[in-house]
Structures are given as C-alpha cells and as structure tokens.
Amino acid sequence: MYKLLKDENNETTGILKDEYLYIPMDEGNMDYQDYLAWLEEGNLPEENNE
Amino acid sequence: MPIQGQTIDTENIADDAVTTAKIKDINVTTAKVADDNITAAKMFDLGRGSILYGNASAVTTELTKGGASEVLTSDGTDIAWTAAAGGGGNTVYNAIINGDMTIAQRGTAFRAGDNDDDSYTLDRWYVLSDGNDIVDVTQTSDTAVGDSKYAIQLDVETIDKKFGIVQIIENVNCHEMIGDNVSLSFRAKVAGSGKLDNVKAGVVAWSGSSDSVTSDIISAWGAEDTNPTLIANATFENTPANLNVTTSYATYKIENISIDTASTNNILVFIWSDVVDTDLTDSVYITDVQLEKGTATTTFVRELESKNLSNCQRYYFAPSGNAVGIAYSTKGMVFNISFPMVMRSSPSATIEYGGTANKLYRIQTGATQIITLNYFGNASGTTHLYDLSIGDWTGGTGEAWNTQFAYNSEL
C-alpha cells in the first residue's frame, strides 16, 4: 500500500510503500514509476495522518 | 667469331658492353644481387594502402588496404584487417557493470526470500526464474586462474525450472551501440548431475520508454530448449542457442549481433539455463561478462574494485556504517545524506537497525525506537534530507540517533 508523505504545509514530499520503502517523486525512479502506474489503474494512496 | 683456347675475363669486356640480351633470365639469381641492393623502385608497385605479407600459402604477396577504421589483427597464424573494436586489446568499452561479480553491496548470498524472481542480487545483476526460490544465488570464489576473483553461482534450489540473470544497461551507457553491432562474451561452467546442459545467452533490445524498463522481461519460459517468450517491447537481437557449457571454465562468445530493433532505448544481457530437468545443487557459474560494440569480442576489461564500486553506486548504495541524525525538537529529527556518487535518479530508500525496518538507535542511551519518516527534502541524485516529525516520537532536542540507510536507483 502507498501512503503520501506530507510536510507542514500539507504538500506531498514523497511516497511511503508498505511502511518501509521511501520513494521520492522523481520520474526517473522506477519505484515512483510503479506508483504512477498503480495510480493509473484507478488506485488511491492513503494520506499520512501522523 | 668463336674464340678458342682463350679465357674471356673481365678485362676482355669493355665497360658497359654486356647488354641485357646477353644475360639469360634464369641466371639472375639472388646470389648475383648484393645485400641491400634492391631499391624500392625495383619492386612492383603496391596498390595505395597495401602492404606485403606472407599469405596462407606462405607466398609473399600484397595485402590490400582494410576498410575505414579497421586495424590489423592476428589470429596467431594469419593477419587480417578487422573492425577497430577487434584489435584494441583491453582498450574496449564494456557496457556491463560488475561483469566480474566483485561488488556485492546487498550481500554475498541470496537464499529463500532474497532470491525470488526479479530480485537484485550481486550489484547490477538480478535473477529471473520460473517461480520464486528457484536458485540460491551466491558470490563464489570458485573461479579459474587468470579469471575474476569471483563468479556468480546459481545453485538449483527448486528442480526442473528455468532461471537466469539479467543486467539492464542504462541508455546513456549503451546509446552508441544502438543501430550498430555488438558482441557478448562471458566465462562460465556448470556443475552437478550433468542435467544442466543447456545454457544460453541473449542480448535483448528494449523498445519501450528510455530507462523505464520492465525488469521481468519473461512472458513465458517455455519448454526445454525453447527460448523464453519475451514481453512486449523486449526483443532478442540474437538467436539464443545452446552454448554447451562444460564443467570447466571457458569463454563463450556471441559476436556480431545487430541491435536493429526499431526504437531501441536500452539493451539487456540475459544468461539463463534453458533446462527443465534439473537436480538439486546443479549449478551454473558465470563471470567476466562483457558487452562491447563491434563485430568481435576482445579480452575482458577488468576494472579496479574502487572504480567498479563507484560504477555500481550510481544504482545502489548501502553504506556499511550508520547515518547519524540529530533531533531538533521533541518531535522532530533530521538526517541529511550526501551520496558518494551521483545516483542515476533520486533513489528510493529503506532504513533499518539490527535487521529491523524503520528502527533507530539513540546513541546517548542505547535505546531504540521504531518510527516512520514523513518528509523528504532535497531529494535528488546527490543528497536526501529525511525529516521525522511524528506523533509517537519520544526523542529530545539535541539527541543523536543512528540507523542504516540503503538507497536504490536501479533501472
């Protein structure tokens, strides 16, 4: 599962996958490409509410 | 008029009086020519760019000029003109990184769970297999004299399944090969029951988006000795065939492969066992993998380990020590990480301490805590800033914590 990481201004700074893998929002990053493909399938990430 | 009873010596012949017609052709022998007296002008004219050589019949003859950029090479018996890449000897560019399997940042043994299909193993190499836990993957020092110190060993853990290793070459590192010819070479041997008797190698063109390669290129593994069916955008550029790898290390070559698939953006090298009848502990050993531009292979280019490591750290970086972060409040701390090598992209990251994910160690007290990072800053190929400011954080301002990061920017 993907979760959005956000700063104090509520802007997304990265993606957390399976509570373990930190993924930067860099389109050259294969994990981020997988995330984008996952979004295109109609999935939605969780918000980080911590 | 005949002269009888008299000797005609040099004194009886006037200067400049012996004409060419008076000398029988076959009597002009080598012995009649003093050393160093055949001038260039007395030799036949060579074609422009030609040289004299002894041909396969041991006859001195003309070797006409080679093609543009070709170099003169010898096979130990005869000489011939070949493409420049064939005559460079240790000056060629090897597009494969860690071809001699010396770098193992992720570890040296990959067994159940770590050896699953489509998992990275030794640096830059990932395993593909018909299922998970098909082969144990290890860095082995079982190599031949004169070869690399290490090889990769693929040791059958689940019988009767195909398996192999793959490396994806980044576009910037294979761009010059696209639309041209390449040659692949590697050292290999097999061990075990003897059933593992069909090792193949393929050079695969990726015609999908540049540097956005689907790493699991297998659509269907197929029957024994039937080359796997590849996924869309992946094409074998050679026709893989049984290399008949033996139980002793030998060099296997696939030369003059045309990278001619339209819209190729990346090249992959895939070496695999095409056998579906194996026994436990049957093994394939592979090392000194080289992919070079040109119609023929050359000697493997061995890099210094330091350079090899740097090349690998563009794609994966796992510091052997811990990173230290400083708490700036009771709810926040920051790690500012600079990478030793500019990574291919901003990398994904994991943290762990003592083998536990997301765990931190408080240096002042020895206490540990499991957290979740919640902020990325400065995310790039050169630096990352990680900021923890989460509700269950129990740190204090000024405290130092450490943990171990690993960064992944593989293709």
Confidence at residue B393, expressed as pLDDT on a 0 to 100 scale: 62
Q: Which three-class secondary structure state does DSSP give residue B349?
A: strand
How would residue B90 be classed by pLDDT, with cut points 50, 70 and 90? very low
Q: Which three-class secondary structure state does DSSP give residue B50?
A: coil
Of the listed ranges B48-52, B117-121, B171-175, the least confidently predicted one is B48-52
Which residue from B minimizes the CA distance to A29?
A: B345
Q: Which three-class secondary structure state does DSSP give residue B32?
A: helix
Question: Residue B296: pLDDT above 90?
Answer: yes
Q: What is the mean pLDDT of residues B183-190?
A: 98
Between B350, B377, B410, which is nearest A13 by CB?
Answer: B377
Q: What is the mean pLDDT of residues B34-52?
A: 86
Q: What is the mean pLDDT of residues B1-6?
A: 64
Question: Residue B380: pLDDT above 50?
Answer: yes
Instruction: Please answer whether residues B254 and B184 qualify as being in contact, where contact means their C-beta atoms are separated by less than 8 angstroms.
Output: yes
B374 interaction partners in chain A (CB closer than 8 Å): 5-6, 16, 48, 50
φ, ψ of residue B384 to 5 degrees: the values are -135, 145
How would residue B44 be classed by pLDDT, with cut points 50, 70 and 90? confident
Between A19, A20, A24, which is nearest B376 by CB?
Answer: A24
Of the listed ranges B5-19, B78-92, B266-280, the least confidently predicted one is B78-92
Tokens at residue A6, please?
């956000």
Confidence at residue A49, expressed as pLDDT on a 0 to 100 scale: 53
Written as one letter, the residue type at A29 is: N
Instruction: Please answer whether residues B110 and B316 qualify as being in contact, where contact means their C-beta atoms are separated by less than 8 angstroms.
Output: no
Confidence at residue B87, expressed as pLDDT on a 0 to 100 scale: 44
Instruction: Please answer whether residues B126 and B165 qualify as being in contact, where contact means their C-beta atoms are separated by less than 8 angstroms.
Output: yes
Asked if A50 is an interface residue toward chain B (Cβ–Cβ < 8 A), one would say yes
Taking only the tens place, the pLDDT of each residue in B197-225 is 999 999 999 999 999 999 999 999 999 99
Within 10 angstroms of residue B375's Cβ, the number of other Cβ atoms is 21
Tell if the CB–CB gap between B348 and A23 is shorter than 8 Å. Answer: yes
Confidence at residue B89, expressed as pLDDT on a 0 to 100 scale: 45
The residue to which tokens 């040296």 are assigned: B108
Distance CA B265, CA B172 (A): 9
- For chain B, the straight-line distance linking the first and the last C-alpha, in angstroms and rounded, comes to 99
Instruction: Please answer whether residues B103 and B305 qualify as being in contact, where contact means their C-beta atoms are separated by less than 8 angstroms.
Output: yes
